């Protein structure tokens, strides 16, 4: 069994995929410019689009190479799925289809670019404001240092370090785990500070682009309406990365950030500080304490696979209660078994390499039935590399 099957993102081949993606985007841009320039009678506009796309491609290629380098270093520290001397896992899925994985990776960035080009959403903030060298150095050093701790925790099966009597008085038992074997679980400022670096590294620079593929669903919900009249709730907002994209594109929308972790909610508050109108609420997504029918849009980004089945059902019921008639729920999470058959082995092995006790059950869940039981009808699915965006609607 290869180590690459342990990660959703694959291996060093992603570096060449980055270069291929850059070349694909740039060549496509040149073709589009040559075709549309005369039609638009605006060669300057066509040239500007070509330059913008080249910038996008080069920037994303650089990001992918940066995070792929950290991924490779981290994997070396983590080691194989099984410890030396242990028998390999009996894998049920077909071998990894590397050609399909590479194609899906490129398709993600091509879709991301099209959305930027067509004005569905803006060029990502991270590409408009490059991080400082000192920030990159700090994040890199912290990630590699913590990777060594994660590796030691994985070896000894240390996934309940955050469990304590005091913590059990404040949080549900399923929450008190070192998910991904990460230091401090969800319960410290240090964990919140390194989380985005860990996630982007895990997906070799694709996490932000995958997450942005939920923005078209938000755009559809906002279309033809005054954004200032709409309210959006992000359940399990984490560090605020998705809400940052939402507010960057629709600054007038009335947003609420909800998370169970005080540390992560604090990080979100810091990251989203430029928008003073955001409401922050520390609460369990199963029971938010918010008013009935208070929101036009409810979102959940990479939350559901961290929940046991009963908690998932509770969160869906709570979201249905919170939505206004005609409101939409936008679910962003991992692909499930059968969505990309050639990548099923990644789904199978991911919880083996990282402490993800509820991941497999989520990947087998019938989402349509789960949401229908709460009165939410499935409207649209969109695959984005290793992520699936599913939109549900409450009857008007």
- Residue-level pLDDT at 46: 85
Average pLDDT along the chain: 90
**Closest residue by Cα to residue 343 from 110, 64, 93:** 93
Q: Residue 201 in contact with residue 67, Cβ under 8 Å? A: yes
Task: Provide the pLDDT confidence category of residue 320 given band limits of 50, 70 and 90.
Answer: very high
Distance, in Å, from the CA atom of 210 to the CA atom of 231, rounded to the nearest integer, reads 23
- Residue-level pLDDT at 233: 99
Domains, in order of start, for the chain: 3-128 (no CATH), 207-394 (3.40.50.150)
DSSP string, 127-161: HHSPPPHHHHHHHHHHHHHHHHHHHHHHHHT---T
Task: Provide the pLDDT confidence category of residue 85 given band limits of 50, 70 and 90.
Answer: low
Q: How many residues in total does the chain contain?
A: 396
**Which of the 8 DSSP states describes residue 187?**
S
- Condensed to tens digits (0 to 9), the pLDDT of residues 168-181 reads 999 999 999 999 89
DSSP string, 78-121: H--SSPTTSPPP---SPPP-HHHHHHHHHHHHHHHHHHHHTTSS
Angle at alpha carbon of residue 97, lines to 95 and 103, rounded to 5°: 165
Range with the lowest mean pLDDT among 43-52, 264-273, 303-312, 384-393? 43-52
- Residue-level pLDDT at 48: 86
Q: Count H helices and E strands in the chain, helices first.
A: 15, 7
- Residue-level pLDDT at 17: 57
Task: Provide the pLDDT confidence category of residue 141 given band limits of 50, 70 and 90.
Answer: very high
Range with the lowest mean pLDDT among 61-70, 89-98, 152-161, 253-262? 152-161
Mean pLDDT along residues 142-158: 89
Distance, in Å, from the CA atom of 278 to the CA atom of 375, rounded to the nearest integer, reads 28
DSSP string, 322-349: HEEEEEEEEEEEE--TTTSGGGHHHHHH
- Residue-level pLDDT at 302: 98
Distance, in Å, from the CA atom of 282 to the CA atom of 260, rounded to the nearest integer, reads 5
- Residue-level pLDDT at 76: 87
Distance, in Å, from the CA atom of 76 to the CA atom of 148, rounded to the nearest integer, reads 10
**Closest residue by Cα to residue 258 from 277, 276, 232:** 232
Range with the lowest mean pLDDT among 131-145, 265-279, 302-316? 131-145
Contacts of 136 (CB under 8 A, 6+ apart): 66
Distances (CA, A) of 374 to 307, 316, 318: 17, 7, 9
For the record, the structure tokens of 139 come out as 């994040």
Angle at alpha carbon of residue 181, lines to 175 and 186, rounded to 5°: 40
- Helix or strand (DSSP H, E) at 34: helix 13-40
104 pLDDT more than 60: yes
- Phi, psi values for residue 33, rounded to 5°: -65, -40
Q: Do strands 387-394 and 279-282 pair parallel, antiparallel, or not at all (unpaired)?
A: unpaired
Distance, in Å, from the CA atom of 312 to the CA atom of 333, rounded to the nearest integer, reads 13
The percent of residues above 70 in pLDDT, for the chain, comes to 88
Angle at alpha carbon of residue 346, lines to 25 and 238, rounded to 5°: 75
- Condensed to tens digits (0 to 9), the pLDDT of residues 180-201 reads 899 999 999 999 999 999 999 9
Distance, in Å, from the CA atom of 97 to the CA atom of 147, rounded to the nearest integer, reads 28
In the block, which residue shows the tokens 């810091």?
270
11 pLDDT more than 80: no
- Residue-level pLDDT at 339: 98
8 pLDDT more than 60: no
Contacts of 97 (CB under 8 A, 6+ apart): 341, 342, 343
Mean pLDDT along residues 37-48: 69
Task: Provide the pLDDT confidence category of residue 155 given band limits of 50, 70 and 90.
Answer: confident
- Residue-level pLDDT at 198: 95
Task: Provide the pLDDT confidence category of residue 3 given band limits of 50, 70 and 90.
Answer: very low
- Helix or strand (DSSP H, E) at 257: strand 254-259
Mean pLDDT along residues 244-261: 98
43 pLDDT more than 90: no
- Condensed to tens digits (0 to 9), the pLDDT of residues 210-233 reads 999 999 999 999 999 999 999 999
Task: Provide the pLDDT confidence category of residue 84 given band limits of 50, 70 and 90.
Answer: low
């Amino acid at each position: 069994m290869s180590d690459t099957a342990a990660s959703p993102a694959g291996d060093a081949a992603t570096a060449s995929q980055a270069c291929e993606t850059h070349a694909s985007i740039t060549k496509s841009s040149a073709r589009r410019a040559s075709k549309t320039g005369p039609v638009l009678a605006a060669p300057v506009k066509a040239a500007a689009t070509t330059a913008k796309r080249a910038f996008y491609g080069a920037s994303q290629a650089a990001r992918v190479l940066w995070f792929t380098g950290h991924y490779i270093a981290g994997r070396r520290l983590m080691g194989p799925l099984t410890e030396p001397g242990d028998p390999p896992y009996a894998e049920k899925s077909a071998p990894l289809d590397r050609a399909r994985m590479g194609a899906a990776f490129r398709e993600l960035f091509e879709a991301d670019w099209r959305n930027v080009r067509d004005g569905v959403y803006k060029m990502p903030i991270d590409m408009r404001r490059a991080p400082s060298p000192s920030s990159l150095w700090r994040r890199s050093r912290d990630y590699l240092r913590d990777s060594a701790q994660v590796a030691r925790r994985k070896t000894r099966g240390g996934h309940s370090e955050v469990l304590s009597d005091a913590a059990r008085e404040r949080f549900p038992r399923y929450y008190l785990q070192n998910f991904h074997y990460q230091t401090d679980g969800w319960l410290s400022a240090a964990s919140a500070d390194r989380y985005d670096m860990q996630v982007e590294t895990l997906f070799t620079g694709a996490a932000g682009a995958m997450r942005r593929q939920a923005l078209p669903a938000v755009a559809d919900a906002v279309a033809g309406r005054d954004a200032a009249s709409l309210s959006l709730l992000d359940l399990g907002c984490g560090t605020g990365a998705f809400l940052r994209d939402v507010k960057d594109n629709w600054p007038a929308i009335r947003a609420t950030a909800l998370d169970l972790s005080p540390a992560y909610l604090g990080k979100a508050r810091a990251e989203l500080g430029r928008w003073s109108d955001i409401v922050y609420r520390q609460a369990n997504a199963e029971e938010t304490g918010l008013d009935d029918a208070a929101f036009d849009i409810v979102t959940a980004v990479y939350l559901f696979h961290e929940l046991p089945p009963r908690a998932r059902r509770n969160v869906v019921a709570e979201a249905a209660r919170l939505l206004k008639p005609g409101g939409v729920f936008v679910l962003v999470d991992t692909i499930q078994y059968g969505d990309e058959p050639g990548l099923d082995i990644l789904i199978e092995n991911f919880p083996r390499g990282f402490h993800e006790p509820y991941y497999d059950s989520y990947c087998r869940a019938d989402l349509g039935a789960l949401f229908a039981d709460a009165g939410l009808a499935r409207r649209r699915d969109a695959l984005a590399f290793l992520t699936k965006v599913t939109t549900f609607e409450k009857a008007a």
